[in-house]
Structure 1
Amino acid sequence: MEAYVSRGNAFLDYGNPEGIKAAQADYERALLLKPTYLPARINLAYSLQMSGKFQQAWTQFTIAIQQDQLCQAAYEGRAIVNLQMSNLFAALQDVNASMKVKASAELHTNRGVVSLFMKDSTGAMHDFQAAIKLDNRYSLAYFNAANIYFKNRQFRQAIEYYNRSIQFNNKDESAYVNRAIARAVIKDSSGALSDFSKAISISPKSAHVYFNRGNLYSTLGEWQKAADDFSHGLRLQPDDPLAHKRRADALGKLGMKEKAIADYQYAVQLQARIKFLKSIHSK
Structure 2
Amino acid sequence: MSDPETSQKDNDVESTEQLKHLVLEQTYILKRLAATFAPEVEEERQRRLVKLLVKSASIVAIGVSALVGSWEFGVYLKETWDVRSMANDYAQVGVRLYYDENNSAVAKKFIGKALELQPGNAEYLFLDAYIDGMSSVRDLFNLDRPYDASELNSAYEALAKSVFLEQQQPDSAEPYILRGQIYAALKDNERALETLNHAITIEPENDFALMRLGVINYNAGNVEQAEYHLDEALSINSNSKWALLWKGVIASDGREFEKSKRHFSEALDIDPRFDMAHYNLGWAYLGAKKKDYENAEKSFRKALSLNPDFKEAFYGLGMVFGYQNQYSVSKEYLSKAIDIDDRFFTAWKWRGIVNDELGLYDQALTDFSSAISINPSNSDIYMRRARVSLKTEAYDESLVDLLLAKKYNPKNARIYLYLGQLYLKLNQLDASRDAIETALSLKKNYSDAYSLKADILIAEGLFEEAIMALSNAVDSTKYRRERFYIKRANLKFKLELFDEAYEDYVLARDDNPNNSEAWLGEFNALIKRNDKGQAEKALKEYIKLKPSDDKIQSYKKLLD
TM-score, normalised with respect to structure 2? 0.44
C-alpha distance in 2 between matches for 1:241 and 1:60: 37
Q: Equivalents in 1 of 2:405, 2:242: separation in Å?
A: 39
CA drift at 1:182? 1.4
* SS of aligned partner of 1:69: coil
Structure 1 residue 218 corresponds to structure 2 residue 390: yes
Q: Which runs of 5+ in 1 are unaligned?
A: 277-283
Compare 79-88 and 200-209 and name the one that shifted more.
79-88
Shift of 1:270: 4.9
CA contact (8 A) 1:41 1:64 kept: yes
CA offsets 1:208-259 (integer angstroms, 9 cap, x no match): 111111111111111111111111111112233442353354356568x5xx
Q: Which residue of 1 aligns with 2:116?
A: none
Instruction: Say whether 1:181 aligns with 2:353.
Output: yes
Superposed, 1:135-150 pairs within 5 Å as: 135-150=307-322
Identify which range, 56-65 or 124-133, moves more after superposition. 56-65
Alpha-carbon distance in 2 for matches of 1:80, 1:136: 22
Deviations 1:59-117 (A, max 9, x none): 32223223223222222222223334443333222211222222133321111112222
Mapped pair 1:108 → 2:275: no
Deviation at 1:176? 1.1
Please show how residues 64-103 of structure 1 align to structure 2 within 5 Å: 64-102=233-271, 103=273
- After the TM superposition, which residues 93-242 of structure 1 pair with which residues of structure 2 at under 5 Å, given as runs? 93-102=262-271, 103-118=273-288, 119-242=291-414
Q: CA deviation digits over 1:2-51, x for unaligned, max 9?
A: 55664465366063453245236424533xxx532223322332233233
Structure 2 unpaired stretches of 5+? 1-169, 446-560
Structure 1 equivalent of residue 198 of structure 2 = 26
- In structure 2, what residue type is equivalent to 1:192? A
For 1:214 and 1:84, locate their aligned partners in 2 and report how far apart those are by CA, in whole Å: 30
Identity of aligned residues (%): 17
Rate the CA distance shift 1:250–1:53 in 2: closer, same or farther, 3 A: closer
Partner letter of residue 74 of structure 1?
A
Larger deviation, residues 9-18 vs 173-182: 9-18
**Paired position in structure 2 for 1:279:** none
Aligned counterpart for 2:224 among listed residues 50, 55, 62: 55
Deviation at 1:138, TM superposition (A): 1.5
Give distance in 2, aligned partners of 1:185 and 1:91. Answer: 32
Q: Is the 8 A contact 2:196 2:209 kept in 1?
A: no
Compared CA separation, residues 20 and 137, structure 1 to 2 (3 A):
closer
| Alpha-carbon distance in structure 1 between the residues aligned to 2:278 and 2:189 | 33
Tell me the distance in 2 between the aligned counterparts of 1:130 and 1:8.
Answer: 30
Q: In structure 2, how many angstroms separate the alpha carbons of the residues matched to 1:47 and 1:242?
A: 32
Q: Distance in 1 between matches of 2:245 and 2:434?
A: 48
Does structure 1 retain, via aligned residues, the 8 Å contact 2:217–2:226? Answer: yes
Separation of aligned partners in 1, 2:439 and 2:361 = 31
For residue 275 of structure 1, give the secondary structure of its aligned residue in structure 2.
Answer: coil
Q: Which amino acid aligns with 1:175?
A: A
User: Do the aligned residues in 2 keep the contact of 1:142 with 1:162 (CA within 8 Å)?
Assistant: yes
Q: How many residues align?
A: 270
Q: Is the 8 A contact 1:9 1:23 kept in 2?
A: no
Q: Is 2:348–2:368's contact at 8 Å kept on the other side of the alignment?
A: yes
Root-mean-square deviation (CA, aligned residues, Å) is 2.8
CA distance in 1, matches of 2:212, 2:222: 14
1:158 deviates by 0.6
Structure 1 window deviating more from structure 2 (165-174 vs 211-220): it is 165-174
Q: Which amino acid aligns with 1:65?
A: L
Moved more, 11-20 or 96-105: 11-20
1:275 corresponds to: 444
The structure having more radius of gyration, on CA atoms, is 2
Displacement of 1:271 after TM fit? 2.3
Question: Is the CA contact 2:318–2:331 (under 8 Å) kept in the aligned structure 1?
Answer: yes
Give the alignment's TM-score, normalised by structure 1: 0.82
Question: Is the 1:27–1:43 Cα contact (8 Å) retained in structure 2?
Answer: no
For CA contacts below 8 A with separation 6 or more, give which structure has more relative contact order: 1
Give the alignment of 1:6-21 within 5 angstroms: 6-7=175-176, 10=179, 13=183, 15-16=187-188, 18-21=190-193
Q: CA deviation at 1:142?
A: 1.0
Identify if the C-alpha distance between structure 1 residues 95 and 196 changes in structure 2 by more than 3 Å, giving closer, same or farther: same
TM-superposed deviation, 1:161: 0.7
Q: How far apart are the structure 2 equivalents of 1:215 and 1:11? A: 42
Instruction: Provide the rounded CA distance (Å) in 2 between the counterparts of 1:250 and 1:85.
Output: 36
Q: What is the letter of the counterpart of residue 281 of structure 2? A: R
Shift of 1:264: 3.9
* Contact 2:249–2:280 (Cα < 8 Å) also in 1: no
